[in-house]
Structure formats: C-alpha cells, structure tokens
Amino acid sequence: MSGAKDTWRKPPFIANPLLRYGLYGAVLIYFVATMATLPIDWDRVADGMTRAQRIFNGAFPPNFERSGLLIDGFLESLKIAILATVGGVALSVPLAFMAAGNIAIKPVYFLGRAIIIVARSFHPVIVAIIFVKAVGFGPFAGALTLVVYSIGFVAKLLAERIEEIDFGQVEAMRSAGAGFIATLVYAVLPQIMPRLVGLGIYQLDSNLRASAVVGIVGAGGIGATLANAFGRYDYDFALAITMVIVGVILISEAVSGFVRKRIA
Amino acid sequence: MRGRLALVRKTIMLKISKLTKRYGSGDPVLKELDLTVEGDQLTSVIGSSGAGKSTLLRCINRLVEPTSGSIDLNGTEFTTLNRRDLRAARRRIGMVFQGFNLIDRLTVMENVQSGRLGYISTWAALTRRYPRDDIRHAYELMERVGIAHYANKRADELSGGERQRVGVVRALMQRPEILLADEPTASLDPKTSEQIMSLLRDLASELKLPVIINIHNVTEAKEYSDRIVGMRYGRIIFDDLPAKLTTAEMDEIYAGVPAMDRAAVGAAAGAEA
C-alpha cells in the first residue's frame, strides 16, 4: 500500500481561502475602526467607579426593615406572572396551530407567523412602555406585557413542535372521517402535550424574572418597588430587594427544572 | 357473539377503473390501473418498493388525491366527492397502517373509539362521552382480538402485535364496508406477523368484509390470501389465485422497471439531471 497519503487536515469551514481570510480581515478591521471612532472616555469610567463605590457603601448592610413593601411587591409580581402565563399559554395554543405549516392553510399560516414575529420583535421593556402609556401604571400593564412576551416564545416553540409531529396519526384520524377539531384534539394535542406543559412551566419562571424588569418602567410588581427604592436613594433597601429577587429566581428555576424533568 | 359482529349486507364491491396518480410532472406512479374487489375476499397486493402499492391504497380513500380515474364503492364515486361528503364516505373504509399510527399517549379505549370520530359529535369526542353502543361494540371487538383487558392502558405500553390489534379494532369500529391494510405486518416479528395475518383473514370471512393488504412478505401473502395482485411500476401485471403465483411470475413482478417503461424513466432522469 505505498503511495497512500499519511497527512490529513480537517477541511476548513469556509472552503474558499480568499473569502475565508477576507472575512477574518474584515472583522478585525471593523473592530479596530470601532474602537478608534466610538467615544470612550476613560475619565468617565474612573468617575463611575467612585460613584459605584458610593452606591455600594450605601447599600451595605441590606435593609429588610420594610419587608412588608417587599412582600407586597413580590406577591404582585407573582400574580402578574401567573396571570400572564395562563393568558399567554391559552392564546399560544390556537396561535401555534395557526402557525404550523403542516396543519394550517397558507393564509392562516402567514397570519399566525406574522403575529408571532410581531410579539417576538420587541423586548418586554419596550412592550411594557407602550402598555404603561396605554392602560396606565400598575400590574395590569405588566400582565399585558408578559402575555405578549409569552406568546412570542410559547407559540413559536409550540408551532415548531406541531410541525414535527408524527403525521401518521393525523392520517389515521382522517381515514376514519374525523372532523378538523376532533383530528387536532386526538392526533395532535396528545403529541404536543408534554412540550406544552414544559413550556408553560418554563414560561411561568421566565415571566417571574421578566416581571421584575418590566416593573422598572412602571408596569407594577417588585420591579416598581425596586425602581422606587433607587429613586429615593434607598440603596440598602434596593440591595435587599435585589437579593430577594435572585433568591426567588433561583428557587423558581430549581422548581421548574425539577417539574420539567419529571414530565419529560 | 360472532353473529352480532357480522352485519347482514349485500355483496360489497370496490371498483377501481383507469386510476392514474402522478406526483408533480414525473412519470405516473399509477398508470390507468383497473382493479375490482368484492365479497369477503382477502386480496394481497405485492410488488417491489416504489411499485405504487401504497399510493394505490391511499388513493382509494383519497388520503392521496388521484390524478384521474374512478373509484366506486357500492355505488359511491369517491373521486368527485367534496370535502364534506368525502369525510362521511371515508367512514365506510377502514384502514390499518404499517406503523400502527396509534395515539401513543391515549388509552387503548380512546384509540379504539377514535375510529368513531366520523360519527360522533366533536363535543362528545372532546369530553370522551362515547355512545353506549360504541362502547359495547368496542369491548366485543377487543374481546374478539384479545385486547379487552388493555382498555385502560396507554397505547405505548403495548407490544407491537397488541398495538396492531388496536389498529385493527379501531378500523373495524367504523363498521367499514372494506378494510385496507398498508403493510400491516412489516413492523412485526414473523410470529406476530402471522397472527395478525390470520386475524385479518378470519375477520374478513366473519364480517363478510373485503380486505386489501399491501405486503412485502410473499410467503405470507400466498398462505393467507384468496387472491394475489402483483404490481410493477404502476401497473397490475398479475392477478390470480395464490397457487398460480409461480417463480416465473414472481421474477416478473420483482424484476424492476419493465422494458416498455425504461425509455420514459431514462427521459425523466435526463430531465432532472
């Protein structure tokens, strides 16, 4: 077996060497140009460090004296999260069927996809600002925001799950002469149920986290409490709130992870 | 019990004439095919993969839309039915699948009752309030095929042979006039496969039900069928008693693309390249 080659190299990801090195070069040049043109004032960074120092000094030790306010804020966040999850998932199911290419007819499919894309295209904070303008400060704006946020996530992933179903079961229902709704409920829903429950639990956890963020722009819950504490320079109370948020989110992630593992 | 299962009916007849199915612009998968099935015959359709067996079966209840031709079941012309009438007409044709196509996460009873979805209201289907007649019928059929004790088990807990029995009962729940089976034993081991074949043969005669089976296993086809149809490249080239299926006929059926079609295939391949 003479003449057999004894060297081998993994083929490059981009086969064309000109394109490959050109791309590397372009990224490097762009990065250098960005650093050169963005106004980064190192003096201000230094100033910021002392300000941060002052905030942290004011924050220690964390102040739990107003725990009543803290608990109220959290309960409100929890209500927002639960309401938004139930509403969001309930709206996501029909939307997901609309946005599944193997179930819906073309015009319905495009409508469903369009709604999901709109729901996904804005960060919850931006949606919250719009809803606070529309329905005023408070938890209702927060709940509406998170409904939109839930739809963007749950409906999209659920629609993708529907597109992956074993279509043979649908065929079996069709061959028995089943109607459209009965076919969906018998042949599709049982297949996507585990994913639906998993997404719902994950979304509850995710909405709880997001409710703290959207509260900062006035959509109620613990975020509003946190924003108020910052506004009044109560850094010690703000730290207490932040620590509780981290704690609650750790717990909710652990719980939702456990539940999702059990139903999988 | 057998007496109650069997329905008194006139002789059933499925008449397929000049059936053609073409996917896209390629060569047709079915070429002006004629086939008549009647009585309580068990007909096996054999042929190599791609001969059009599965398409033929799926054209009968229009899971696959025929391009042209006629399908007549006891006076109902299937090819011209609108959506609504087609749905009602499909109830008259039971179908059994290679992969069983059961709803894994539902109970055996729900799977069996799903054969009645064309008859009961959507509300009754959603709430699982099945008519008493249907429940009794389901228990009788499940008893007959030996799965009655599994009624509350989830379908994915059953073995392959048991799952296919559920598939058969689901199809029979439709009180069909004809039963189509698309390679019902291809996912089963040889012993289970024979049990399902003999079950289908027995049911055909008990229920006076014509059965059409697509099958790859020629030995089984010869053993259990009253009639064998050999397909090759979208045409029926053999249609006779199992005993008449000689080695020469077999070679012909499984010989690949017939000479008369080779030019067409070559042309199609050339067009694609």
Tens-place pLDDT, residues B103-129: 999 999 999 999 999 999 999 999 999
- Give the distance, in angstroms, between the CA of residue A33 and the centroid of all CA atoms in the same chain: 33
Cβ contacts of B87 on chain A, cutoff 8 Å = 177-179
Residue keyed to tokens 């609650």: A248
Considering only alpha carbons, which residue of chain B is nearest residue A167? B101
Q: What is the pLDDT of residues B218-252, one digit of tens each?
A: 999 999 999 999 998 889 999 999 888 888 888 88
Q: Counting one residue from A and one from B, how many pairs have CB atoms under 8 Å apart?
A: 82
Please answer yes or no on whether B117 and A178 come within 8 Å at the CB atom.
yes
- Predicted local distance difference test score (pLDDT) of residue B9: 52
Taking CB atoms and an 8 Å limit, are A182 and B126 in contact across chains? Answer: yes
pLDDT value, residue B270: 45
Closest CA to A149 of A189, A121, A169: A121
Residue A189 has pLDDT above 70, yes or no: yes
Enumerate long-range contacts of A67-75, CB under 8 Å, 24 or more apart.
Answer: A69/A225, A70/A222, A70/A225, A70/A240, A70/A241, A70/A244, A72/A225, A73/A215, A73/A221, A73/A222, A73/A224, A73/A225, A73/A226, A73/A241, A74/A221, A74/A222, A74/A244, A74/A248
Q: Which of A175, A186, A191 sits opposite B90 (nearest CB)?
A: A175
Contact A172 B114 (CB under 8 A): yes
User: Contacts of residue B119 in chain A, CB cutoff 8 Å?
Assistant: 177
State the average pLDDT over residues B17-23. 92
The pLDDT of residue B273: 38
CB contact under 8 A, A172 and B102: yes
Higher pLDDT, B58 or A43: B58
Average predicted confidence (pLDDT) for chain A: 88
User: DSSP assignment of A216-241, as one string?
Assistant: TTT--SHHHHHHHHHHTT-HHHHHHH
pLDDT digits (tens, 9 = 90+) for A61-92: 887 777 888 888 888 888 889 999 999 999 99
Judged by CB atoms closer than 8 Å, whether chains meet at B114 and A185 is answered as: no
Q: Give me the pLDDT at residue A223, please.
A: 84
The pLDDT of residue B33 is 92
Please give the residue that has the higher pLDDT: either B5 or B167.
B167
Record: contact B114-A179, CB cut-off 8 A: no
A-chain CB neighbours of B93 within 8 Å are 175
Question: What pTM was computed for the model?
Answer: 0.79
* CB of A171 closer than 8 Å to CB of B99: no
% of chain A surpassing 70 pLDDT: 98
- Which carries the bigger pLDDT value, residue B153 or residue A45? B153
Whether chain B has a CB inside 8 Å of the CB on A229: the answer is no
Angle subtended at Cα B203 by Cα B107 and Cα B15, rounded to the nearest 5 degrees: 105
| Joined tokens for residue B175 | 């009180």
* Residue-level pLDDT at A240: 87
A181 touches chain B (CB under 8 A): yes
- pLDDT grade, residue B267 (50/70/90)? low
Q: Report the amino acid identity of residue B72.
A: D
High-pLDDT (> 90) share of chain B, %: 68
The 10s digit of each residue's pLDDT in A23-37 is: 999 999 999 998 888
Report the residue of chain A nearest B120, measured CA to CA. A178
Is B63 an interface residue toward A (CB < 8 Å)?
A: yes
Confidence of residue B10 (pLDDT cuts 50, 70, 90): low
pLDDT digits (tens, 9 = 90+) for A171-186: 999 999 999 999 999 9
ipTM for this model: 0.85
pLDDT of residue B6 exceeding 60: no
Inter-chain CB proximity A177 and B87 less than 8 Å:
yes
Residue B91 has pLDDT above 50, yes or no: yes
* More confident position, B193 or A225: B193
Indicate yes or no: CB of A186 within 8 angstroms of CB of B114.
Answer: yes
Searching chain A, which residue's CA lies closest to the CA of residue B123? Answer: A182
Q: Is A175's CB within 8 Å of B63's CB?
A: yes
Residue B262 has pLDDT above 70, yes or no: no
CB contact B187 to A (< 8 Å): no
CA-based nearest distance A170→chain B, Å: 8
- Cα-to-chain-centroid distance, residue A160: 17
